[in-house]
Amino acid sequence: RFEEAKARRKSTVSQAPQPVQPARGTGKASEPASLARRFSVSDLSQGEREQVNKIITEIRKRHNLPALDRNVIELSSMTSNVNSRVNDLVRIIQRDTGLTSNLLSTVNSSLYAPKYPIESVSSAVILLGFDKIKALTTRLNIFCQSHKTIRDVRLYRLLTSSYFAGTFTQNLSKCIGSNNPEEAFVAGLLYQMPKLILANTFPADYEYMEELTGEGKDVEEACKEAFGVPFSPLCQAIQDAWNLPPSVAIFSSRNNRRNPLLGEIVISSAELSDILFGIRKGGQAELTRVGKQIGKLVRDPTFDVNDFLVQTTTADETIRRFFKFTHKELEKMVDHAAKGVAVERMRQKEFIVDIEQPARIIPRKQRLRLEEFKRFIAQIIREHRDINRAISSAMETLSDCISNQHIFTTFLSADQGEIRGRFYRGTLDNLDPTSFVVYTDNSRAKILQAFQLKRTIRCSGSERNLQIPRELHRQLSPKAALFTPILVGGKAIGALVILRCDYSQRFTDSEVAMAEVVADGLTTIFEYYQAHKKQRGRSRSGHSGKK
């Protein structure tokens, strides 16, 4: 199998490093990471050191180390003792509009739950503190730079796993009283990065290594079999070659001398992430083992690893923004990990990583109106009211929050051949909403892109972009369009369509965020009624069986 892995390499064999094939392992179940032997470069033989050098040379030659741009390097060199540190930090962050947008989106999420919207970088620094914002900015930048190096979309699974490992580390660090959980996130993220770099450079060899860990082998043994050297010294060499600034590199050390307890938490978080994404063998017994390990670290004998996974992933809004996971999808992932089928399911799944995110800054007046809409959705669920009332309320909320001339709620037909309007609110009296129709074989239609990408699309209101009947387009005269998909079970079943007739009014980032909040409300109620319908069907079949 190893020879087959070598043959599948995309690179020329003569240019790629040639691992020495060691003897096969026993295939025993992996022991806990905190108890497994940790290797260092000093433990290697002369031949293994040469092999490490060959691997690092190839990684550098292919430019697969995520580039830390000038912003991260300057941030890392800053110290909290400089009097002008806040102004300097704000200046560096604001150079990069994408970084600024993602930072503001994150600090306004439910993870930080600010009492009032944080609308500027300086406000974020003042409210959350210099050290937190510095670490948070570093994490976002490293993640985004890593995203740019990926050459195969199949590797998005590894990038996603790295982010999840950081999220788990961040949340667990709070349990041990960490003063800066954002630093813990960086530690978790960086710990997983060498896997992504290896997979990007040597796809066939990494695939073989992952196959071995999926069968239950320890990562050190699997790496030695696939690459000719154990995993720990290879990680160390990659991190050294990466030339991380000292203030960042300290978080990446496997044996974190500054905080050894955090080092153990990082390793356990990485194990959880690997199990969740099918990178290593799962099953409830394996999850329970890691859960007990974590329970000892955080001194909580009642620690429930399944609940932790669900609560941590569903509470982090950046996971929904970056990776397009729904609440239901995340629960299914935990269920698959517990059943031991994550290896097969995750390798078949198509991952989406979207880092071009709008700043989710919603003005106070509109935020209050959206909260009122959410309460109404909860009331409809409690009282089992007609779902049409929820859709009417959604359109009324959009009309109050976003200036527009036309709003349609559209749905995919049962045969998936067309997307047709079902509800309309706007300036044209007696307009038939069903006249809005887009056929799904029309690849030019922007609404189809929103369905496929599972994210909001903004565009001009041209006939080419909308692909609706010409007579309807003439009636509506749209100049700007916004399509926000309604997702149920991770699939788009419909979309909110908002149209404007003024050339000067493009849809802002805040308006995109508001449309997505309303769409999320509809997702909640559709998923509730779907689950309720299934439950009722099971109850009826059980009742008829008894008869």
Task: Return the CATH number at 300.
Answer: 1.10.3210.10
Q: Which amino acid is at 258?
A: R
> 305 with 370, same domain?
no
Q: Are residues 179 and 263 in the same domain?
A: yes
Determine, yes or no, domain membership for 142. no
Rg (CA), the chain: 25
Number of domains into which the chain is organized: 2
Please tell me whether residues 278 and 338 are part of one structural domain.
yes
480 pairs with which residues across the strands? 460, 500
Residues 234 and 268 in one domain: yes
Does residue 12 belong to any structural domain of this protein?
no
Asked whether residue 310 falls in the same domain as residue 186, the answer is yes
Q: Does residue 340 lie within any of the structural domains?
A: yes
Asked if 450 and 484 sit in the same domain, the reply is: yes
Q: Hey, what's the torsion of the CAs at 36, 40, 46, 49, to 10 degrees?
A: 110
Q: State both tokens at 536.
A: 């009722």
Domain span at residue 338 reads: 154-348
Tell me the pairing of strands 437-439 and 491-500: unpaired
Domain boundary residue, one of 316, 348, 380: 348
pLDDT of residue 349: 72
In terms of domains, do 425 and 312 share one? no
Domain co-membership, 374 together with 335: no
**Both 380 and 344 in a single domain?**
no
Give the pLDDT score at 243.
63
User: Residue 36 gets which letter from DSSP?
Assistant: S
Distance from C-alpha of 318 to C-alpha of 326, rounded to nearest angstrom:
12
CB neighbours of residue 506 within 10 Å: 14
Q: Are residues 499 and 393 part of one domain?
A: yes
Could you tell me if residue 104 is inside a domain?
Answer: no
Q: Is 521 inside a domain boundary?
A: yes
Residue 2 is predicted with a pLDDT of: 42
∠ at Cα 265 (282, 147), nearest 5°? 75
In a domain, 465, yes or no: yes
Residue 492 backbone dihedrals phi, psi, to 5 degrees? -80, 120
Helix-strand-coil split of the chain, %, nearest 5: 60, 10, 30
Q: Report the distance separating Cα 415 and Cα 370, nearest Å.
A: 33
Which of 348, 379, 395 is where one domain is finished? 348
The verdict on 458 and 510 lying in the same domain is: yes
Residue carrying the six token digits 């387009």: 473
Quote the pLDDT of residue 76. 60
Here the CATH number for the domain that contains residue 504 is 3.30.450.40
- pTM value surpassing 0.75: no
- Phi, psi angle pair for 146, to nearest 5°: -65, -40
In a domain? residue 18: no
Beta strands 418-426; 406-412: pairing state: antiparallel
CA–CA dist 398, 367 (Å, integer): 12
Give the number of other CB atoms < 10 A from CB of residue 41: 15
Residue-by-residue pLDDT tens, the chain, 547 positions? 344 444 443 333 333 333 333 333 333 333 333 334 455 666 788 888 899 999 999 888 877 666 555 666 666 666 544 545 667 777 777 666 556 666 776 677 655 666 666 767 777 777 767 777 767 777 766 777 666 666 666 678 888 888 899 889 988 988 888 777 777 887 888 787 888 888 888 888 988 998 888 788 888 889 999 999 988 888 878 877 776 655 455 455 444 555 688 888 988 999 999 899 888 888 999 999 999 999 999 999 899 999 999 888 887 766 776 777 877 888 888 999 999 888 777 777 766 665 554 444 677 788 888 889 988 988 888 887 888 999 999 999 999 998 888 999 999 999 999 999 999 999 998 899 999 999 999 988 999 989 988 888 888 899 989 999 999 999 999 999 999 999 887 789 999 999 998 766 778 877 888 898 899 889 888 888 887 777 766 666 655 555 5
Question: What is the reported pLDDT for 289?
Answer: 93
Indicate if 303 and 420 belong to the same structural domain: no
Q: Report if residue 120 sits inside a domain.
A: no
CB 352 within 8 A of CB 453: yes
The pLDDT of residue 257 is 54
